[in-house]
Amino acid sequence: MRGLPHGVVARLRERDPGLVTVRHAVRTTTAAVGGFYACRYGLSDPVMAVYALFGAVAFGALSQLGGGPGRRAATLVCVLPVAYALIAAGTALAVRTWAAACGMLLVGFVVSYAGVGGPRVVGLSSGLQLFYILPCFPPYDPGSLSSRLAGVTIGVGLLAVGELLLWPDPPPSPYTDRLARAAGDLADAVDAVAAGSPAAGPGSGERALRRTREAMERLRFSTVPPMLRPASPGVRDRARSQAAAALRYAAVRCERLPGLVECANGADPRVTGLQDATARALRQAAHAFAGSGPAPPAEPLDEAIAAFTAERERAAARRTGLPDTTRLRINCVALDMAIVVRFVVLTTRVCRGAPVPPDDTPPAERPGPLWYADRGPVELWWHRARLHLTPRSVPFQSAVRTALALAAARVVAGTLDLSHGFWVMLATLTLMRGSASDTRTALRPALTGTLVGAAVAAALLLGFGHRPVFYVAALPVVMLIAFVLGPLLGVGWGQGLFTVVVAMAFGQLAPANWRLAEARAEDVLAGALVGAMAGLCAWPRGGSGELCRTAAGLLTATARVVEDTAALLTGRPLPRPGPGEGDRAALPGARHRMLLAEAAFAQYQSERRDPRMTRVDWQATLLAGQFLVRGTEALLRRCPPDALAASPRAADHLLRSAAATADAYREEAAHVRAARAERRSGPSAEALPVALHAAAADHADGPTMLHVGDAEVWLSAAIENLARISPGERPPASP
């Protein structure tokens, strides 16, 4: 870098902060060229040289590796046996076109579908596909298998060594640092505003809440690099994801308290102890996430919740006349927040490998949210794989699309007897996108770049002929430029420069002429057309179309959760599921829909945005489902079945409000399905305290009054979550 002009370095740093792409290109080029030259000129084995070159390119240029240098090197070593198996399968099935195509269909689906294991597996899928693509073409030569495996070992081994020693990247900041920051800021907000601390200065509550909002925004997966997202089926990643959702829910609850405290002319002294325990638990969780403290104990917060619950029940038993609605709401919101923070503590313990208390989820709503804590990695991966084995799953759709496209490309290459057929499949693999529109967008620059690159390569082959000295000197420079400019300037630059790289590499293996460049251009065109046809025929809308369906399904599932929970609390019969809602229990069904919607949203974020899709706040839509599920789990932990049956008037009012809320969710689901953000007037959170007055008119006892307040706060949150979906709307003000 020191030898480059200052302006070039400045522009590189502007496009590539931290020079991450440049570092990666240097390591990949060194491993690929070093392995190629060692095998071609040191061992005089051209087959081994090709596999050393493409072994480094497969994991260095076509794959994404997560974690720090040590973890990336370990990933490369661990995935080598899979590469060996794919090379052996491709070598054996290259005997016939139909055998190679059938093998490609199976390998293409399995390798792509394995991406349900999280972004780290998705990052490896394209590279792994190449290890089957490369040997599945003629010549059929099982005797060269040892050279092929040795070449891949050399290329991947050099890349692993380079990750450790050659200009290594600094270790990335883990997601747990974001969790630690969010938990710490939320603890400060609880201290500053939730309990009305007299030590807090003017404006300190708003400042604390602002910092908390910023910290919660950083928990969104859309703000996190894909390789750092806790999206795998493993125990710790599941716990981190649930901790993030619980922290966001607790932060929303915390924001409700200042307005309620102001309406009540001061905080309720009975809340102070619970708030202190909540803030302490959050700080302990923050230290545990940051690695500066042990796993937080659950007992102190459990004792504070039990003491607060007992105190408010005693206060309710001494009540005379109508209750103070606002103070009761403060108590319910504070308790709701404390119970969710308790869940944060439990997920923190799961992350640190500490034991958790037995599952207290009601039998009808099991499996509980922490069902995975004592399961093994194979069982959890298989559970995730079965969950997405449906045509409504984006990973399933992507795997089917990829498998069909690669199998078709293999048939085309074999039927037309193309001289370098693997370039056809490589073009299909690298140019096909998640949607037909994205594939079309990528085709023009890719084909233009390939044609320009083929022209340059043809000129070089005509000018220098079979002169290995020139190619030996030029290959490292051109490859480094290709691996730098391709990611930074787009697919056209990448395809064009890689065409030149291929010509220089193959020019060292056998006498070559300009026909090599012509074959490269023809093969890329054929592969691009196959990928485009696959994108048009198989789920052409990609993640966008599926996001509309799965997000609408999530809202419909949460509507059923609202109705079923209200019926459970009032002792009324559960309503019959509507059309398309299935017979799955409400909460497990909503969790299932949530995972499908999250996968569709992740795919949607990687695609070119359709302007029509931006009319809906998709993140708010998913959060509405997450918050309702989390709030319902917390409610059912403190309200037993039939908790409101002693007050028929309150039960009737809650059922009517729940039905209106569920109808509003279903109506919003219809708009979301059509990618519209319009919503007619729905229920208002201000009307819900009528349930408390109805309970008082029924002369309900203290526990019933408290459960009515808990249910009212839960339903108010459901209405507020719905209001956040439509742009320009705000949650109703606190009464």
Token digits for 28?
Answer: 């990949």
Annotate 269-306 with b (16+ C-beta within 10 A) or e (fewer): ebbbebbbbbbbbbbbbbbbbbeebebbebeebbebbe
pLDDT band at 734 (very low <50, low <70, confident <90, very high): very low
Cα dist from 285 to 197, 210, 253, 346, whole Å: 22, 20, 18, 9
Q: Which amino acid is at 343?
A: F
What are the percentages of helix, strand and coil residues in the chain, rounded to 5?
A: 75, 0, 25
User: What is the CA angle 53-55-56, rounded to 5?
Assistant: 70
> 3-class secondary structure for 607-675?
CCCCHHHHHCCHHHHHHHHHHHHHHHHHHHHHCCCCCCCCCHHHHHHHHHHHHHHHHHHHHHHHHHHCC
3-state SS assignment for residue 185: helix
pLDDT for 687 equals 47
* pLDDT greater at residue 59 or residue 608: 59
Note the Cα 583 to chain centre separation in Å: 27
405-432 mean pLDDT: 85
Distance of alpha carbon 177 from alpha carbon 339, whole angstroms:
23
Token digits for 337?
Answer: 């927040």
Going by C-alpha positions, the residue among 564, 458, 590 that lies closest to residue 513 is: 458
Q: Is residue 263 predicted with pLDDT exceeding 50?
A: yes
Lowest mean pLDDT among 144-148, 337-341, 365-369: 365-369
Structure confidence by residue, pLDDT tens digits, 312-324: 877 766 665 555 6
Q: Are 67 and 96 in contact (CB under 8 A)?
A: no
Lowest mean pLDDT among 57-66, 299-308, 401-410, 610-619: 610-619
pLDDT for 541 equals 64
Percent above pLDDT 90 for the chain:
35
Cα dist from 251 to 245, 254, 336, 594, whole Å: 10, 5, 11, 20
Q: Is residue 728 predicted with pLDDT exceeding 50?
A: no
pLDDT for 105 equals 95
Cα dist from 504 to 295, 321, 426, 522, whole Å: 56, 90, 18, 18
pLDDT band at 618 (very low <50, low <70, confident <90, very high): confident
Neighbours of 143 (CB within 10 A): 7
Structure confidence by residue, pLDDT tens digits, 702-711: 777 788 888 8
pLDDT for 449 equals 87
DSSP annotation of 574 reads: P
Mean pLDDT comparison of 66-75, 154-163, 405-414, 633-642, highest-scoring range: 154-163
pLDDT band at 542 (very low <50, low <70, confident <90, very high): low
pLDDT for 481 equals 94
Q: Is residue 477 predicted with pLDDT exceeding 60?
A: yes
Neighbours of 223 (CB within 10 A): 10
* pLDDT greater at residue 656 or residue 583: 656
Distance of alpha carbon 567 from alpha carbon 575, whole angstroms:
8
pLDDT for 731 equals 38
pLDDT for 199 equals 43
Structure confidence by residue, pLDDT tens digits, 426-456: 888 888 777 667 777 778 888 888 889 888 8
145-169 mean pLDDT: 95
pLDDT for 149 equals 97
Q: Is residue 547 predicted with pLDDT exceeding 90?
A: no
pLDDT for 735 equals 29
Structure confidence by residue, pLDDT tens digits, 215-246: 999 998 888 888 898 988 899 999 999 999 89
What residue ranges do the domains of the chain occupy? Answer: 14-172, 178-379, 393-534, 542-723
DSSP per-residue string spanning 458-482 = HHHHHHH-S-HHHHHHHHHHHHHHH
- When the pLDDT of each residue in the chain is averaged and rounded to a whole number, the result is 83
Q: Is residue 694 predicted with pLDDT exceeding 80?
A: no
3-state SS assignment for residue 584: coil
Q: Which amino acid is at 668?
A: E
Cα dist from 256 to 205, 271, 272, 621, 708, whole Å: 12, 14, 16, 20, 18
Distance of alpha carbon 591 from alpha carbon 630, whole angstroms:
10
Helices (H), strands (E): how many in the chain? 26, 0
Q: Are 458 and 561 in contact (CB under 8 A)?
A: no
72-86 mean pLDDT: 96
pLDDT for 682 equals 53
Structure confidence by residue, pLDDT tens digits, 14-44: 788 888 899 999 999 999 999 999 999 999 9
Q: Which amino acid is at 252?
A: V
Helix orientation angle between 175-189 and 235-263, rounded to the nearest 10 degrees: 20
pTM across the whole model: 0.87
Going by C-alpha positions, the residue among 272, 263, 269, 28 that lies closest to residue 127 is: 28
